[in-house]
């Protein structure tokens, strides 16, 4: 299933997408920028449909149930850290939900196993004063704390000596090429008050408010993903651990392409065709076969499942 990836440097996948309804789509937008239009050398106008960082969030969400705030059953034995409120014990966040994952401020300022979170993480990562960073120890420690950080990246910055950083091993982007804007608009109605009045105008969400809207059409919409297999092997983990990370990454990729790609209200895309660019001749396994392979991997964790951190830590920690 993934044996053909053993000697490959990258798994690179391209997928052609299309809108589920109509021919227009709503691209990602950025504050003070709007849609991210760009021009490829010698090519027609292009557009960023979904960014690398946003697709990383989509990959991560596949393995975590947002409603229950728990990992899905397939991944429930993988280590992760839940952050609970010190006063009341409510679930606040976790290493699976935080943008900075294990490096989250909520973990850093929490109490874990009776110790301040920063000190606990520094000790587990082996960030000893006067010594160079032991990357093999760092990778092994991250694998035991939340292995998905080795797929999606983590950057230990504030308070962590040496600021160890792990790049994303799985990255993806969606671009549209030969694009044209579709300008339309609408009207927010107010049938209670036909005219605005002082203190009850558009700024207060009263009255009739016209608005403009810009969507796009495209000759092609392309999803491209790269899994850095050399990076996964470079962690120096046991073969079974490396195989587990590889299987989960391929499963995330397959699951994202198989599932509904409704990125925004007016950006609902579906798969047209998939092409594996590297390695030559490789075909993505099916999702169910990948899930069976993940479930059969025998990997030993120091503490499988969830660890609990409480935030904020008690004073003096």
Print pLDDT tens along the chain (317 aa): 788 999 999 999 999 999 999 999 998 877 777 888 899 888 899 999 999 999 999 999 999 999 999 999 999 999 999 999 999 899 999 999 999 999 999 999 999 999 999 999 999 999 988 889 999 999 999 999 999 999 999 999 988 999 999 999 999 999 999 999 988 777 777 777 767 777 676 666 777 777 667 889 999 999 999 999 999 999 999 999 999 999 999 999 999 999 889 998 889 999 999 999 999 999 999 999 999 999 999 999 999 999 999 999 887 54
Half-sphere exposure of 230 (CA within 13 A, CB side): 5
Q: Which long-range contacts (CB under 8 A, 24 or more apart) does 121-126 make?
A: 121/145, 121/156, 121/160, 122/159, 122/160, 122/161, 125/156, 125/160, 125/164
Total number of domains constituting the chain: 1
Q: Is residue 316 part of a domain?
A: no
Asked whether the beta carbons of 81 and 113 are under 8 A apart, the reply is no
Q: Is residue 57 part of a domain?
A: yes
Token output for 192: 């209670």
Q: Are strands 306-311 and 80-85 parallel, antiparallel or unpaired?
A: parallel
Cβ atoms within 10 Å, residue 54: 15
For residue 109, give the nearest of 314, 309, 313, 316 by alpha carbon. Answer: 313
Q: Find all residues with CB under 8 Å of 281, minimum gap 6, and list them.
A: 4
Half-sphere exposure of 37 (CA within 13 A, CB side): 15
Cβ atoms within 10 Å, residue 265: 7
Per DSSP, the three-state class of 290 is helix
Q: How many Å apart are CA 275 and CA 273, to the nearest integer?
A: 7
Q: How many Å apart are CA 177 and CA 39, to the nearest integer?
A: 9
Please provide the size of the chain in residues.
317
Q: Is residue 15 part of a domain?
A: yes
Q: How many Å apart are CA 314 and CA 235, to the nearest integer?
A: 35
Q: Is residue 237 part of a domain?
A: yes
Q: Is residue 244 part of a domain?
A: yes
Q: How many Å apart are CA 63 and CA 41, to the nearest integer?
A: 38
pTM for the predicted model, two decimal places: 0.91
Per DSSP, the three-state class of 112 is strand
Q: How many Å apart are CA 127 and CA 133, to the nearest integer?
A: 6
Q: Is residue 317 part of a domain?
A: no
Tokens 């983590």, located at residue: 154
Q: Is residue 77 part of a domain?
A: yes
Q: Is residue 224 part of a domain?
A: yes
Range of the domain at 161: 3-311
């Amino acid at each position: 299933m993934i044996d053909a990836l053993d000697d490959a440097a990258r798994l690179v996948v391209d997928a052609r997408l299309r809108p589920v309804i109509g021919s227009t789509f709503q691209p990602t937008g950025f504050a003070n920028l709007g849609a991210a239009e760009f021009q490829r050398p010698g090519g027609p106008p292009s557009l960023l449909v979904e960014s690398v960082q946003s697709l990383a969030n989509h990959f991560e969400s596949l393995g975590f149930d947002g409603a229950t705030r728990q990992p899905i059953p397939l991944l429930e034995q993988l280590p992760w850290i839940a952050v609970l409120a010190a006063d009341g014990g409510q679930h606040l966040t976790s290493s699976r939900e935080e943008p900075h994952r294990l490096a989250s401020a909520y973990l850093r300022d929490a109490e874990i196993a009776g110790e301040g979170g920063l000190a606990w993480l520094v000790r587990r990562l082996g960030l000893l004063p006067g010594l160079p960073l032991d990357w093999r120890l760092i990778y092994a420690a991250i694998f035991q704390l939340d292995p998905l950080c080795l797929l999606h990246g983590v950057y230990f910055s504030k308070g962590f000596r040496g600021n160890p950083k792990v790049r994303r091993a799985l990255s993806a982007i969606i671009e549209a090429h030969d694009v044209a804007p579709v300008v339309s608009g609408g009207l927010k109605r107010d049938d209670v008050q036909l005219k605005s009045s002082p203190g009850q105008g558009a700024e207060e969400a009263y009255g009739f408010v016209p608005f403009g809207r810009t969507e796009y059409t495209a000759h092609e919409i392309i999803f491209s993903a790269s899994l850095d297999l050399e990076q996964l092997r470079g962690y120096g983990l046991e073969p079974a651990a490396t195989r587990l990370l590889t299987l989960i990454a391929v499963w995330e990729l397959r699951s994202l392409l198989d599932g509904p790609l409704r990125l925004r209200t007016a950006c609902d895309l579906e798969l047209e065709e998939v092409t594996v660019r590297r390695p030559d001749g490789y075909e993505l396994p099916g999702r169910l076969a990948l899930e069976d392979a993940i479930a059969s991997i025998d990997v030993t964790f120091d503490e499988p499942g969830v660890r609990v951190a409480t935030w904020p830590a008690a004073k003096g920690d």
